[in-house]
Structure 1
Amino acid sequence: MSASFASAQGAAREAAAAQHYPEGALYVVATPIGNLADITLRALHVLQMADTVACEDTRHTQSMLRAYGIDKGAAQLLAVHQHNEAEAAQNVVQRLQLGQRVVYVSDAGTPGVSDPGARLVAAVQAAGLRAVPLPGASSITTALSVAGAVAHSTEHGGFVFAGFLPVKNAERATVIAQQLAPEPRCVVLLEAPHRINELAQALAVLGDRPVTLARELTKQFEEVTTRPARELTAWLDGAPQRSRGEFVVLLHPVAVASDDGASLRVLRLLVQELPLKTAVRLAAEITGASRNVLYDTALAWKRSGASGEDEDEAGDAGS
């Protein structure tokens, strides 16, 4: 056990032991995304009492358990990952039917969101058994909490979780152009270090739309930065370490002009007849609306095909 966690098990028992933990139930447990101190007392207690710990990587999980002073034999660890989840779920169901308490953990964070776990939970519920959530760390909510990217009390509040985009360049570009660019809400993406530069290059088409890159969250070299989409590649290239670690990428909400009875109607008429930048400038002068907001609105129309402008004019607008 790490000396840093020598007292953690005692604290966990004192805080959580009085609660009821039914047998024959699957406990879906969130684990730290980097900093081991981000484990919850309830998670420590349930991991200690588990008959079986199902996990993405048995070696990784065994190392984590030992850091907390939890000793599980090899027979108590069961590999359940993206390649065997459907089959391994039946093994878990059988153990639950025998009255075992089975804990499921992914390699980091909350299972079943982007990591494996959803199929396992579905199989458990289909068998008429209980799945018990133990909340904790999540890279998604961690990044959102410091990005200032979620609008509230507006028509376009909340956020959209898109996860990992397609690996192939053409497919990824299509998703960005057709689904992400027109989306006015905050969009949450995940990306691996060996593909972050390719994603940054693809997102450059979003121009001035603010994007937050959050890397190595909760770890020693944690870094969170927000800058226009067109500047992401330059920032990543600015230092070698910036392309290392797992990334959460947040596309900030698109500023959309409110329809005050004039500005959107004027803008829509102008973009059908003039290049985008000219239409935006004139609409701002005529209505007094913010030029930046009108530009973002017109750009969103163009990308979604909602403005009514033809392809030649769209091309002129981007020149």
Structure 2
Amino acid sequence: MELTVLSAMAGWDFDHAAEQMREWDLSWVDLWGEIYGEPIDALGQATAERGAATLEAANLKAHCLASRIFDDTVEIGEDAFREKHLAALDRALASARILQPKYVRLIAGKFSAVAPGGSNVGVLKRDFPWVAAVYREAVDRILDAGFLPTIENEADSCFLATPQEFLEFFDWLAAPIPRIGTWDIQNAWKMGSFPTVEGYESMRDILGYVHTKGGQAERGGSDLKWNVGLADASWPVAQIIQAVVDDAISPVICLNPSHGAPKPGYDYGLSPLDPADYPNMVPMTKRDLDYLRSTVRGIN
């Protein structure tokens, strides 16, 4: 089992980030955010070629092109949702043909209609029945281009959060290949679904990729409050990630930066010279990589 990180977690300059990832003994990278000033899912040909050359020089491989496709509210309607995001997918696939990732990511979209305790997917089926067909078309386009699709849950107003919603959605989608779900563990928690081993076990047959990050609740609480590393997280990191590794459902596990507010007095490893507008994620990323490698059996 191997680890990867989002490219910007190793530095905002892509050349330096590639060097840093090799220092961390990583083989894979999730391409995220921007490369050389251009968004990852709208790279020009020259920029994509430059990025591919940088990866090759650092002996790195692209694991996922982490696009923002479908990161939008379904309430804009089928025509607008389809036109906007399928056009963006075509641009992302043009970049993918150069960068050659294993996966191209789609985002599980947003809507505001669900009451606490309700089923997001149940509301989707009732009020937005076209959603499955649009996602299925995107999945087919990615497969036709020679890549694997993956659909990830997001952290705000997302229609995927609970294990039951994952199961309902991927059953409804009826994709032509199995295991195209990405479970971002902390995103689900931020949406109100606290991570458990039992929840993971109920979803493992639909998952092909897992994202992990820390996060901490207030003492005595269960809601995500603080941005902290994996070693200090409130959810059962070691137990869940060990189960993922033992089941071999996600041959590469991706480390993400934590949501939550900065915790007063917490050591983020930062220098006073680090700019506030481009946070330096390198110290916390290194700390989390070391934690996973030292705590979870079977991680390289």
> Per the shorter chain, which TM-score range?
under 0.3
Q: Rg: which structure is higher?
A: 1
TM value normalised by structure 2: 0.25
Instruction: Flag the structure with more relative contact order, 1 or 2, with Cα contacts below 8 A and sequence separation at least 6.
Output: 2
